[in-house]
Amino acid sequence: MKENKARRVERAAEIVEQLKKEYPDADCSLTYSSAHRLLVATILSAQCTDHRVNQVTPGLFNKYPTPSDFAYSDVNELAKDIHSCGYHNQKARSIQGSCLKIVEEYNGQVPDTLDDLIKLPGVGRKTANCVLGQYYGVPSLVIDTHMVRIMNLLGLTRSKDPKKIEFELMDIFEEKDWVKLTHLIIDHGRVVCIARRPQCGECVLSDLCPSSTV
């Protein structure tokens, strides 16, 4: 039987409550001290672990302290500096291009709206929402691979399209929980609802999850 919206909203709230109890310290694991540094770290984190990014960024931010330093850098040298994060040429172009636009069109300030952020080269909704929620405190949902997979398992979407999922989840989760939700789901995906071998027997969501095997 198809679940109605009221029940989905109720279930979404119960899921958040359980996950908050289970992962009280869930938070962004990237290290940053300013908006442009978070933007750079988030670009580097695509297809790379946050741990690896955090190993690279201290030296990187020492060498390129400001958005201008990235904007007017030699992109080949920048690519070498971020080589260990993977996709280094593409990421170097995104970082340099974004910082150039920030310096030349936004007076050196990282924009604080989704519309402006997604106009930066190589910045999609995921990166933009991360900066908005994490740095500017704007309620926003980051839809990464954990969110796509686990929200499907939880029966809160049937889509694989991150943008569609973002809007569906905005409709059922409380705005105050949006930023935290991604971190809760990432922790849950790493520890319990692991891809290919979900540990349903140990999951605090098993009573709330239609994919539970227990």
Which residue matches tokens 């007076």?
A: 107
Cβ at position 130, least distance to ligand SF4 in Å: 23
DSSP 206: G
DSSP 201: G
Q: Stretches 72-80, 88-96, 146-154, 157-165: which one binds ligand SF4 (CB under 6 A)?
A: 146-154
Asked if 205 touches ligand SF4 (CB under 6 A), the answer is yes
Q: Which is nearer to ligand SF4, 113 or 213 (CB)?
A: 213
Interface pattern 104-143 for ligand SF4 (x via CB under 6 A)? ----------------------------------------
d(CA 14, CA 44): 33
Selecting among 81, 126, 177, 187, the annotated active-site residue is 126
Measure the CA dihedral 18/19/22/26, to 10°: -150
d(CA 132, CA 36): 12
Contacts of 206 (CB under 8 A, 6+ apart): 200, 212, 214
Asked if 198 touches ligand SF4 (CB under 6 A), the answer is yes
Asked if 211 touches ligand SF4 (CB under 6 A), the answer is yes
Instruction: Look up 74 and say whether it is catalytic.
Output: no
3 state SS of 19: helix
Asked if 31 touches ligand SF4 (CB under 6 A), the answer is no
Selecting among 27, 116, 144, 180, the annotated active-site residue is 144
9, 153, 170, 172: which one binds ligand SF4 (CB under 6 A): 153
d(CA 151, CA 163): 13
Asked if 148 touches ligand SF4 (CB under 6 A), the answer is no
Asked if 152 touches ligand SF4 (CB under 6 A), the answer is no
Instruction: Look up 126 and say whether it is catalytic.
Output: yes
DSSP 124-193: -HHHHHHHHHHTS--------HHHHHHHHHTTS-----HHHHHHHHHHHS-GGGHHHHHHHHHHHHHHTS
Q: Which is nearer to ligand SF4, 102 or 205 (CB)?
A: 205
Q: Stretches 50-58, 73-81, 160-168, 199-207: which one binds ligand SF4 (CB under 6 A)?
A: 199-207
Task: Give the footprint of ligand SF4 on this chain (CB under 6 A).
Answer: 150, 153-154, 192-193, 198-200, 203, 205-206, 209, 211-212
* Active site positions, annotated: 126, 144
